[in-house]
Amino acid sequence: MAALRAGTCALPWAGRFMASNRFSWKLASCKTALPATTIRPRRFATAASEPTPGKPYYITTPIFYVNAAPHVGHLYTMVIADVLKRWRVLIGETDAQLLTGTDEHGMKIQQAALAEGMEAQALCDRNYKKFEDLAKAAGIDYDYFIRTTEPAHKDAVQYFWEMLQHRGFIYTAKHEGWYSVSDETFYPAAQVHKSLDPTTGHTRTVSMETGKEVEWSSETNYHFRLSAFQEPLLDLYKTGFITPTAYAHNIVKSVSEGLQDLSISRPAERLTWGIPVPGDDTQTIYVWVDALVNYLTKAGYPFAPGQGARLGWPADVHVVGKDIVRFHCVYWPALLMALDLPLPRNVLVHGHWTINREKMSKSTGNVVNPFFALDRFGVDTMRFFLILQGELAGDANYDNAYIIRDYDKTLRNGLGNLASRAIGCAKGEVPTYIANGAEGKLPSPTSADTDYETQLRELPSKVASHMNSLNPRAALQEIRAIIELGNKYFHNTSPWENPTARQRSIYNIAETIRMTGILLHPFMPTKSKEILDMFQVNPQRRSFASAEYGSDPTYGESPKRRHLFPRLPFKDNE
């Protein structure tokens, strides 16, 4: 434990790293770590509010633990992030980047490997593939799949550690507290309570935040001076850093009540599966410090001067579940502030999925296998359902009957039926109606036409407003609403009975199909293409800019009626 002495700040590893051919600048001389009371106040980095020229839009999912199989919650997180990325591409940011991957260090991995009688690395090499396969099966358009066992990530984490130490934000002390192996974190006494385990009838001490069991632990390790960042963090939360704001309220309350310094290492005698503390093999870097740095690793950290933005940093959106808000909204920005690194622009938090309003749990068997769900209902159907019914500010209930309900109502009997009926009613004259609409030669509008056209004209801006506010659910609800309104409009105008009104009515429905087909791309990329192909929309006219009402006079040539959304081949109870 000799290397645990406070004030030890040799940087042998960092020096070697900086001296490599990869970098051309030199590390400043090491200074002894300052006592907590002597850290000088300074202006820490804050979240950027304005776009950085030349920086790709950068979205991340959390990296997923490989100690267990993926579940529908992992799929939901991936889909949210993918929708956000595809939206940026749709509006013209073709260099948008999406990162996902796996967290492969820590006590849970060590214990899972031990239980299976295999090496930890072998377990990671086997299990990470399940998450990579899920991303591929769900059509996630990720740019990089990171693993925390990669050498480049280990290098980034150790450099990050030594920079914290160099700046005086790391010291050693004895730590006592309630530790959760499942959450891989210590909890203060105020954040734990007694709870009855219904499966065993025993009373346990658990985290109030996650419900995971904790045990008392006492050990000597390294600490990060988290308490120095209370005011900067509170200032950060005023910028809208956390979305939705419901989660910000709890974080602000917690931080306002005071911050304890964070234990950021574990004795190697207890935890060997992780990244060693530089210069001290008796300690292993805390898995959450290790994991959070992955967002920097992908962006090329350590950055050459002025190069951080080239590969995306700072992240524009971290998509996370509500159970890891504290790590991403307290620990992570504080660690970045300590190194004067730019902060992520936003953390988008979502709720969990439940079954019968109860939390999914392997022990009770009420979990949803995402691979089975994708195979059963189809990729785009699952993506549509998860975004439409998933909650950001709360939890959502998962039920096969709900998936079938939404599929039948909005997709099969809504959008699919509308497209098929419009083609049938047009009797081959769709191109003529479209040309007349573009040239202003349609019959004069009725009040019903005017009302509906107003809704169509407003649709793209409504969708864009919600997407830019990081609310894909609300954006999809706008699209669903116009599909329902379109069916009512088509029924009320009855173009099959009224030749005079037919041209304007069918033109408006054709525009409905074209516009929704474009706007659905981030949510249902395969079906979006099928819809636009069906109406012969030019591939060069499928961007968001083309979603404007009346903006494309060139489509509709020989559209063919087909079942965009066929009947599902089973009942909801099968």
pLDDT in tens, 394-418: 999 999 999 999 999 999 999 999 9
Listed residue (263, 258, 282) closest to 171, CA to CA: 263
Report the alpha-carbon distance of residue 429 to residue 513 in Å, rounded.
16
pLDDT of residue 22: 38
Contact 452, 504 (CB under 8 A): no
**DSSP code at position 282:** E
As a whole number, the mean pLDDT across the chain is 88
Q: Which phi-psi region, left, alpha or beta, contains residue 101 (left: φ > 0; alpha: ψ -120 to 50)? A: left
- Within 13 Å, how many C-alpha atoms sit on residue 114's CB side? 9
Structure tokens at 41: 């106040």
pLDDT of residue 21: 37
pLDDT of residue 38: 41
pLDDT of residue 25: 31
Rounded to 10 deg, the angle between the 72-90 and 370-377 helix axes is: 60
Contacts of 394 (CB under 8 A, 6+ apart): 351
Contact 348, 313 (CB under 8 A): no
Please spell the DSSP secondary structure of 3-15, one letter per residue: GG-TT----HHHH
Report the alpha-carbon distance of residue 247 to residue 559 in Å, rounded.
47
Three-state secondary structure call for residue 397: strand
C-alpha distances in angstroms, 60 versus 159, 293, 321, 347, 355?
22, 12, 12, 10, 27
Paired strand residues for 243: 348
pLDDT of residue 204: 84
Whether the link from the prior residue into 333 is cis, omega within 30° of 0, is no
Query: In this structure, which amino acid lies at residue 464?
Result: A
Q: Which phi-psi region, left, alpha or beta, contains residue 490 (left: φ > 0; alpha: ψ -120 to 50)? A: alpha
pLDDT of residue 214: 76
Structure tokens at 81: 């992030």
Structure tokens at 197: 């385990």
Query: In this structure, which amino acid lies at residue 225?
Result: R
Listed residue (77, 73, 127, 69) closest to 98, CA to CA: 77
* Per-residue model confidence as pLDDT tens for the chain (574 residues): 434 433 333 333 344 333 443 333 333 333 334 444 344 445 556 665 566 788 999 999 999 999 989 999 999 999 999 999 999 999 999 999 999 999 999 999 999 999 999 999 999 999 999 999 999 999 999 999 999 999 999 999 999 999 999 999 999 998 777 777 666 676 677 777 887 776 666 778 887 767 778 777 778 899 999 999 999 999 999 999 999 999 999 999 999 999 999 999 999 999 999 999 999 999 999 999 999 999 999 999 999 877 889 989 999 999 999 999 999 999 999 999 999 999 999 999 999 999 988 877 666 677 899 999 999 999 999 999 999 999 999 999 999 999 999 999 999 999 999 999 999 888 888 899 999 998 889 999 999 999 999 999 999 999 999 999 999 999 999 999 999 999 999 999 988 887 777 899 999 999 999 999 999 999 999 999 999 999 999 999 999 999 999 999 999 988 887 889 999 876 554 4
User: Would you say how long the chain is, in residues?
Assistant: 574
Three-state secondary structure call for residue 24: coil
Listed residue (455, 463, 457) closest to 522, CA to CA: 463
**DSSP code at position 60:** E
pLDDT of residue 363: 60
**DSSP code at position 428:** T
Tell me how far apart the 2 most distant CA atoms of the chain are, in Å: 91
> What is the pairing mode between strands 317-321 and 347-350?
parallel
Contact 218, 233 (CB under 8 A): no
CATH number for the 400-547 domain, one of 2.20.25.90, 1.10.730.10, 3.60.10.10, 3.40.190.10? Answer: 1.10.730.10
First to last CA, the chain: 60
pLDDT of residue 428: 84
